Amino acid sequence: MVTMETPLPDSRTEPDGSAVIRVLSYNVRSLRDDTEALARVIRACAPDLVCVQEAPRFFRWRKAAARLAAMTDLVMLSGGATAAGPLLLCSLRATVERTEDVLLPRTPGLHRRGLATAVVRIAGTRLGVVSCHLSLQGEERRAQAEAVLERVDAMGVPHAVVAGDLNDVPEGKAFRRLAGRLQDCRTVRPWGGELTFPPGAPRKRIDAVFATGGIEVLGCGVPESLPGVTAADLRAATDHLPVLAALRVPAGDRTGA
């Protein structure tokens, strides 16, 4: 186990062309809380990629998402209202190859769900990224987990990362379906805290980062100590705790499609 006394590795490019990247998953509750505290948390995590859930979806949503990106020294990659809430942000370290926002089938009476997806290049690596926010309803949630895996397969890349608010616990069917095909990064190499919801007194792990095989997990969990961030900031920022992962992605497939 990686303890909090062992910091997560910083982003870097290795001599063999592989890349150590930091991936953050965070439900931001439509920016309805303390956005200054939220920005402090995201900046302190120093992510290369941020998989956001519950990004603003309505009036002037692009402006709100762009403001969050500017406040966190990141840029918008894909998603937002066009993906029914999931959003991708990235650092300037990432070069965008392509993006696609995917709307999932809607169950009458339930919220529309979608996926924000992208293929990026970081150093010598090519990586697919998916941000998701699964349904509160069990049957629909399981179907959406299958759709996430189908999307990963369809991206046509050797390596991919999936992160999001699953609205499911590790023992649940949707969570187990994803973990059966992908590495549940927290389980592979625990770091920091485990539970993600609610932030004041967390009881459940419903937010997670997954990676395809071949990606080395260097640590994953809820940061318990961040520079310039207080426990009050984490409670004020939104109604979930962030999940941060450090991953080593092998070099390869520089040509792409």
- What percent of the chain lies above the pLDDT cut of 90? 91
Average pLDDT of span 80-97 = 97
Is the torsion defined by CA of 225, 185, 45, 232 positive or negative? negative
Q: 56-79, pLDDT tens digit by residue? A: 999 899 999 999 999 999 999 999
Q: State yes or no: pLDDT of 256 exceeds 70.
A: no
Q: State yes or no: pLDDT of 254 exceeds 80.
A: no
Retrieve residue 90's tokens. 């990235």
Q: 23-58, pLDDT tens digit by residue? A: 999 999 999 999 999 999 999 999 999 999 999 999
Retrieve residue 205's tokens. 């792990």
User: Are 131 and 52 contacting, i.e. CB atoms less than 8 angstroms apart?
Assistant: yes
Q: State yes or no: pLDDT of 2 exceeds 90.
A: no
What Å distances lie between residue 163 and 132, 204, 210, 229, CA to CA?
6, 16, 6, 23
Task: Please compute Rg for the chain using Cα positions.
Answer: 16
Retrieve residue 64's tokens. 């709100």
Please state the pTM of the whole predicted model.
0.95
CB-based burial label for 190 (10 Å; 0-12, 13-18, 19+)? middle
pLDDT for position 60: 94
Average pLDDT of span 186-210 = 97
The CATH homologous superfamily of the domain defined by 16-249:
Endonuclease/exonuclease/phosphatase (3.60.10.10)
Q: How does residue 253 score in pLDDT terms, banded at 50, 70 and 90?
A: low
Q: 221-250, pLDDT tens digit by residue? A: 999 999 999 999 999 999 999 999 999 999
pLDDT for position 257: 41
Q: 107-135, pLDDT tens digit by residue? A: 888 999 999 999 999 987 899 999 999 99
Q: How does residue 5 score in pLDDT terms, banded at 50, 70 and 90?
A: low
